[in-house]
Chains A and B, each alone.
Chain A
Amino acid sequence: MLKYLCVPVILIFGFTGCFAQLPDGFPSIHKSDLPGSEFLSSRVFNGTSLYGYIDGGAELYLEYGFSVVSVSEIEYPGRRYKTEIYKMSGPEEAFGIFSVMRNNCPGRPDISEFTCQTKYQLQICKGSFYISIINRTGTGTDSIASIEIGKAITAKIIERNADLSSYFPGMPLENIKRNCILAKGRLGIVNGTPDLEDFFQEMTDYSAAILKSEGRRVLSVKFRSKESYKKFIESHNWNEKSIENGGINLPGESIRKIAENHLQVELLNH
């Protein structure tokens, strides 16, 4: 009896290439969601099995807080696309990955608050999902098809997006959405804004939202503990009392406290 039970199990696991399951609410799309499409292959990687998909590239996702990714090859209609749907541990983590992966977005299709379209890729962040749709030929037709695929996926996501307003109180939200880099940990900094790697040194226990403009950078840094907050201040030889009492202004930088364990630092570019 057992051997008859094993056959379907082997077939299911075999064709998916791994054993991972998608959680409830995962925005999987199927042929019926995208008329004219063919789904050629689908694989799922969760937790550290992400190493099996992108090897060392997995470190960045794991540092942010990664749950599961579904990777599919789709033919639509007659052209091939690779979709990657990453479920991160929350909306902020998903936005963080999106923010370090996007770069010079010539297109921002209106299918989510956070999109970035370049010649070969459409990136989307919605709720706790980071989505990448990659094409092979970079044509206008590919761009349109990518948007259609993206719409089919995002239509299935009902979660709210990350609320970034607390990082920059009083600042126009549109600017934050379009330009903010949200780094969690060293790899977030190295990938998103490598020029600040030395500024954060060995710190790990923080989330840093960074806005760059001509001649200045504004950093909003939230620490997960008082110890980390103090350690960061000490590493820069700043005076904690002065920061608590209205902030400090130094040549090329100003520092003020926004909330408990939360600093805003403005750096003037050299």
Chain B
Amino acid sequence: MKGKSINRRRFFTLMGAGGAAMAAIPASAISLHTLQTKTKPGTNISDAAKNPRSSTSMPGLFPGKVVIAKNTKSVVNDEPVESVAYMMLSQLLLELTGVDNIKQAWRTFVSPGEKIGLKVNPVAGKLLSTSHAVVKSVVKQLTESGIDKKDIIIWDRREMELTDTGFTKDNYPGITIRGTELQDEKGSFTDSEGRLYGERNIDKEWYYWADVDGEYDAETMPYMVNGGKFSYFTKIVTQEVDKIINIPILKNAGGSITNAMKNLAYGSVSNTGRLHASLWNETSAEVCAFAPLRDKVVLNICDGLRGCYNGGPAANPQFICNFNVLLASTDPVAMDRIGYDIIAEKRIAEGLIKTASPESLTFLAMATSLGLGVSDKSKIDLKMFDMS
């Protein structure tokens, strides 16, 4: 929500009114949201609909379409292979767009002169980060399609995690590397006036409000940027990029999945600590419904060359495995739904669960009700290519 169009007092009035706030939500969502508000803290999700959708809004150009490329040679000695990832990526783009050359396929989504943000996921460290094999393949194909390197920004929430996992200027010459939260060369999170560097990078015009207070001690605050009930969007998404290509890694989150939606939602706003315990599903779906993400994410590429089936979202080596797949979709909801099946199949094979339970993926149902994509598998157009 842009702060200018609704002040805080009026916002609370709306929240109190309840019914008025709900009026902005599609009819199909009413029952679900009514159910949620009975037991869950309120949020400002109704504000998301106040910005009109555009032609590129989620679920993008190909709603409900997911393409999977599998190649057992994509990981050798537990290291993703860039040349194989490059070929898999080409196949995905051609199949997804239906055009016959790769340059044209990329130009379906992006154009020269646009600032392109690549949203990676380095949170779990070197062992379980979006791979360089995939990100370098994306960069290579973008530049081969006429995108200037200076217009490509690799970003995530924490610049130090990007550095730790090798997303550096040395590894990506000519590409901008950006994080919302950052430390200076001395390791400090604050400038000479004691102000968090992260504060400079949040956009207070855009926020996700939830009726849960973020209360953090001094040691936690640098990772949250601010406390209270507002989670502000990073300027990276609101001001610095025109288009976003979302490149999550395939991971479980308990019995659920952290992939396209979660990568976007939790990676784009501040003050997230308060949102894990009671609003995980809501946050994963609702933050993506706000215009900076809803209208800018043009493509999702799931890095499933390596991933984890248990112990996620943190990296626990014994649960990290080679899925040997890449997925592509403009529809993050459909991609997460298919990603769930891949992880569930592995969890069943490992004896962790007996059957998959996609009906438990509340955040996908919520995202569907918000018009962000297709979660009903029977309505997903799934194409799979084994390139082994």
Chain A residues near B158 (CB-CB < 8 A): 52
Complex-state Cα separation, A29 to B30, whole angstroms: 56
Residue of A48, A121, A197 touching B317 (CB-CB under 8 A): A121
CB interface residues, B 193-228, toward A, < 8 Å: 216-220, 222-224
Residue of B186, B224, B273, B353 touching A11 (CB-CB under 8 A): B186
- Confirm or deny: B15 has a beta carbon within 8 angstroms of a beta carbon on chain A: no
Complex-state Cα separation, A57 to B127, whole angstroms: 15
Min Cβ gap B372→A in Å is: 20
* A19 adjacent to B219 (CB under 8 Å): yes
* A104 adjacent to B318 (CB under 8 Å): yes
- Confirm or deny: A101 has a beta carbon within 8 angstroms of a beta carbon on chain B: yes
Complex-state Cα separation, A173 to B219, whole angstroms: 41
Chain A residues near B276 (CB-CB < 8 A): 51, 56, 58-59
* Mask of B235-259 contacts with A, CB within 8 angstroms, 1/0: 0000000000000000001110010
Known A13-B187, A14-B186, A194-B255; contact A45-B319, beta-carbon cutoff 8 A: no
Min Cβ gap A167→B in Å is: 22
Chain A residues near B187 (CB-CB < 8 A): 13-17
Kindly specify which of B65-73, B307-315, B378-386 makes contact with the partner chain: B307-315
Min Cβ gap A99→B in Å is: 13
Complex-state Cα separation, A118 to B318, whole angstroms: 7
* B220 adjacent to A55 (CB under 8 Å): no
Main secondary structure of the interface of A (DSSP, over half): helix
Min Cβ gap A102→B in Å is: 8
* B220 adjacent to A191 (CB under 8 Å): no
Complex-state Cα separation, A138 to B353, whole angstroms: 28
* B310 adjacent to A191 (CB under 8 Å): yes
Chain A residues near B222 (CB-CB < 8 A): 18, 52
Residue of B273, B317, B354 touching A51 (CB-CB under 8 A): B273
Chain A residues near B277 (CB-CB < 8 A): 59
Known A11-B186, A13-B188, A49-B217; contact A134-B127, beta-carbon cutoff 8 A: yes
CB interface residues, A 135-189, toward B, < 8 Å: 136, 138, 187
Complex-state Cα separation, A256 to B369, whole angstroms: 45
* A54 adjacent to B317 (CB under 8 Å): no
CB interface residues, A 41-67, toward B, < 8 Å: 45-49, 51-52, 54-60
Which residue of chain B is the closest to A54 with respect to CB atoms? Answer: B314
Known A17-B160, A47-B219, A48-B273; contact A103-B314, beta-carbon cutoff 8 A: no
- Confirm or deny: A190 has a beta carbon within 8 angstroms of a beta carbon on chain B: yes
* A101 adjacent to B316 (CB under 8 Å): yes
* B311 adjacent to A191 (CB under 8 Å): yes
Chain A residues near B126 (CB-CB < 8 A): 136
Known A120-B318, A191-B254; contact A47-B220, beta-carbon cutoff 8 A: yes
Min Cβ gap B167→A in Å is: 16
* A45 adjacent to B219 (CB under 8 Å): yes
* A54 adjacent to B223 (CB under 8 Å): no
Min Cβ gap B343→A in Å is: 12
Complex-state Cα separation, A57 to B354, whole angstroms: 24
* Mask of B111-141 contacts with A, CB within 8 angstroms, 1/0: 0000000000001111100000000000000
Chain A residues near B273 (CB-CB < 8 A): 48, 51, 58
Chain B residues near A19 (CB-CB < 8 A): 218-219
Chain B residues near A138 (CB-CB < 8 A): 78
User: Would you mind naming 17 contact pairs between A and B with Cβ atoms under 8 Å apart?
Assistant: A11-B186, A13-B187, A17-B183, A18-B222, A47-B219, A51-B220, A52-B219, A54-B124, A54-B314, A57-B124, A58-B273, A59-B276, A101-B316, A118-B317, A191-B311, A194-B347, A194-B352
Q: Which residues of A contact B (CB under 8 A)?
A: 10-11, 13-20, 45-49, 51-52, 54-60, 82, 101-104, 118-121, 134, 136, 138, 187, 190-191, 194-195, 197
Q: A47-B220, A56-B258 are in contact. List 18 more A-B contacts (CB 8 A).
A: A11-B186, A13-B188, A14-B183, A14-B187, A15-B187, A45-B219, A46-B219, A49-B223, A51-B224, A52-B219, A54-B124, A56-B262, A56-B313, A58-B273, A58-B276, A82-B125, A194-B347, A195-B352
The 7 A-B residue pairs whose C-beta atoms are closest, nearest first, are A57-B314, A52-B223, A14-B187, A120-B317, A14-B186, A190-B254, A49-B219
